[in-house]
Amino acid sequence: MDTSVITDNLAQYVSGAWLTLHLVFISCLCGLALAIPLAVLRVSRNHLVSGTVGVYTYFFRGTPMLVQLLLIYYGFAQFQWLQDQWQAEHPLWLLFREPYFCALLAFALNTCAYTTEIIAGSMRNVPHGEIEAARAMGMSYPTLLRRIVLPSALRRAIPAYSNEIILMLQGSSIASAVTLVDITGAARNVYSVHFAPFEAFVFAGLIYLVLTFALVGAFRLAERHWLAHLQPRKSAAAPVPSA
Amino acid sequence: MHAVVDYLPSILSGALLTLELALLSLFMALVLGLTGAAAKLSKIAPARWTATLYTTVMRGVPDLVMMLLVFYGGQILVNEVGDRLGWDYVEIDPFVAGFVTIGVIFGAYFTETFRGAFQSVPAGQLEAGAAYGLSRWQVFARILFPQMLRFALPGVGNNWLVLLKSTAIVSMIGLSDMTWLADQAGRSTREPFLFYMVVCVLYLLMTAVSGVVLDWLTRRYNVGVRASVL
């Protein structure tokens, strides 16, 4: 091991880690924001509505994220219409020439599909009695969702959602396929300059490992906070039966 | 549309390669998973520590980073060893690097699946076997293992679907799987969207077939188990 390969290129790894982090953070945030309304549609009793969302989630969960990314970055350029927009320098469509934007879009659409199914599954598992009780109180459907179903479903989705974010962190390493220099991209650069694969990739692996641990720790805290009501009662806190 | 017809045989041969790679990786991952689960449940502490280290590292490092390490690092390692033994220059085959990496990574996921499944078999079953005078091996082969499979099946099915999709990254170390071939076809015909869509459809087809097989296996392994009705 030649540690100078790593120390000389530390700046590249740090900026790569920064790119990885905000790619994952922004795409997960957008994915989650879009997944909540989609999950509501997914559990709809109207088969046309739930089926349409189902087709979207089936496509994005059934194909590799790498292919989705290539489809957006290289694939869309096939259409003459898009190239005409580029010629006209239309600001919105020019985004599709940016690898950063394409990666963000592919990641967000991918994680949104998984998150939609996680939240929809969690919504279906809300105890029936709670829904009946809410109906009996005369709640309308939007009120029922807002006050009863979503607060409970979103909390119980946290464990599955934490797995999804960790998979996104790992999955984001394909960003280097569209020329982005994330952690993996930095390692590939270092490898090609110094021809030192062990130093380059082991160090990248360590950064991912540390980020994964940090995420696991953060989610453990989140679960302790939002799922406190589902924890087994601690014996010390158990009420002492009065004599 | 004719471009697809011209390139279809090539892409289908890539699909076959993807499938071979996935099945070989699956086999390796199943073997490693069973070994890992045995180590995690073993009474020998160093075996448990090794298995925990293995699952933690493999699940915390992206498959692409691991694959690049195996492909480029393995190349150097093999030739350094080869130099001392007086071999000729050895080229690491991306296919081998691909299936070893995917197999080793998913071995970690299967370790967790099998560990949970082994622990789900009620202890009374094993005690009953011992009470009938079965040897420890007989208890394992006739009682523990077959029942464990039923509990492991949903997890195995999920892991398989994830594994199948992660084979796409071998195209990044230059293996001509269907993603790589579609990329080439897309470049030469200037119709990349079309060819990536073909790859998507082929992956969806593979997932759909896997779903049918998994449903059949689930039914088969749940014969005699009453489903709980809520």
* Residue ranges per structural domain of chain B: 2-221
* Mean pLDDT lowest among A63-77, A219-233, B60-74: A219-233
**Count of pairs with CB atoms under 8 A, one residue in A, one in B:** 119
pLDDT single digits (tens) B114-132: 999 999 999 899 999 999 9
pLDDT of residue A227: 85
C-beta atoms of A198 and B193 within 8 A: no
* B205 touches A: beta carbon within 8 Å: no
CA dihedral (B100, B106, B108, B111) in degrees, to 10, reads -120
pLDDT of residue A53: 96
* Mean pLDDT lowest among A31-40, A226-235, B198-207: A226-235
Q: Going by C-beta distance under 8 Å and a sequence separation of 6 or more, which residues neighbour residue B36?
A: B51, B54, B55, B107, B108, B110, B111, B114, B115
Choose the mutation target among B55, B59, B65, B161 for the interface with A, i.e. most A CBs under 10 Å: B65
Chain B residues with CB inside 8 Å of A171's CB?
62
Chain B residues with CB inside 8 Å of A79's CB?
193
Average pLDDT over residues A114-128: 93
> What's the mean pLDDT when you consider all of chain A?
90
C-beta atoms of B68 and A187 within 8 A: yes
Average pLDDT over residues B72-90: 83
pLDDT above 60 (res B160) = yes
Structure tokens at B161: 């679907």
CB B48 within 8 A of CB B40: yes
**What CATH number is given for B2-221 in this structure?**
1.10.3720.10
Q: What distances in angstroms separate CA B168 from CA A50, A171, A188, A200, B23, one per listed residue?
A: 29, 12, 18, 23, 14
Q: For a pLDDT cut of 70, what percent of chain A falls above it?
A: 95
pLDDT of residue A234: 66
The number of angstroms, rounded, from the C-alpha of B59 to the middle of its chain's C-alpha atoms is 13
pLDDT above 90 (res B68) = yes
User: In one letter, which amino acid is B222?
Assistant: N
Give the chain A residue whose CA is nearest to the CA of B188.
A78
> What whole-number distance in Å separates Cα of residue B121 and Cα of residue B116?
9
pLDDT above 60 (res A238) = no
pLDDT above 80 (res B2) = no
pLDDT above 90 (res B137) = yes
Chain A residues with CB inside 8 Å of B68's CB?
184, 187-188, 191, 197, 201
* B94 touches A: beta carbon within 8 Å: no
pLDDT single digits (tens) A83-118: 888 888 877 888 888 899 999 999 999 999 999 999
Q: What is the DSSP string of B163-205?
A: HHHHGGGGGGGT---HHHHHHHHHHHHT-HHHHHHHHHHHHHH
* Mean pLDDT lowest among B27-36, B68-77, B196-205: B68-77
C-beta atoms of A184 and B64 within 8 A: yes
| DSSP single-letter state for residue B225 | -
Give the chain B residue whose CA is nearest to the CA of A201.
B69
How far off is chain A from B59, nearest CA to CA, in Å? 9
Comparing CB atoms, the residue among B76, B193, B207 nearest residue A76 is B193
pLDDT of residue A147: 93
Q: What distances in angstroms separate CA A5 from CA A11, A12, A34, one per listed residue?
A: 12, 11, 42
Structure tokens at B210: 């896997």
pLDDT above 90 (res B51) = yes
pLDDT of residue A236: 57
- List, as ranges, residues 11-40 from B with C-beta within 8 Å of A: none
How far off is chain A from B180, nearest CA to CA, in Å? 10
pLDDT above 60 (res A237) = no
Kind and range of the H or E run holding B78: helix B74-85
* B4 touches A: beta carbon within 8 Å: no
pLDDT single digits (tens) B191-218: 899 999 999 999 999 999 999 999 999 8
- List, as ranges, residues 164-193 from B with C-beta within 8 Å of A: 165-169, 171-172, 179, 183, 186, 190-193
pLDDT of residue A218: 93
Give the chain A residue whose CA is nearest to the CA of B172.
A177
Average pLDDT over residues A25-43: 96
pLDDT above 90 (res A171) = yes
pLDDT single digits (tens) A9-29: 899 999 999 999 999 999 999
* B96 touches A: beta carbon within 8 Å: no
The winner for highest mean pLDDT among A85-94, B76-85, B104-113 is: B104-113
* B132 touches A: beta carbon within 8 Å: no
Chain A residues with CB inside 8 Å of B207's CB?
62
pLDDT of residue A47: 94
| The CATH homologous superfamily of the domain defined by A3-228 | MetI-like (1.10.3720.10)
How far off is chain A from B121, nearest CA to CA, in Å? 23
Residues in chain A whose beta carbon is closer than 8 A to a beta carbon of chain B?
58-59, 62-68, 70-71, 74-79, 169-174, 176-177, 183-184, 187-188, 191, 197-198, 201-202, 204-205, 208-209, 212-213
pLDDT above 70 (res B30) = yes
Average pLDDT over residues A151-162: 91
pLDDT above 80 (res A231) = no
Q: Going by C-beta distance under 8 Å and a sequence separation of 6 or more, which residues neighbour residue B159?
A: B29, B106, B109, B110, B113
pLDDT above 70 (res A162) = yes
In this prediction, residue A240 has a pLDDT band, given cuts at 50, 70 and 90, of low
Model ipTM value: 0.88
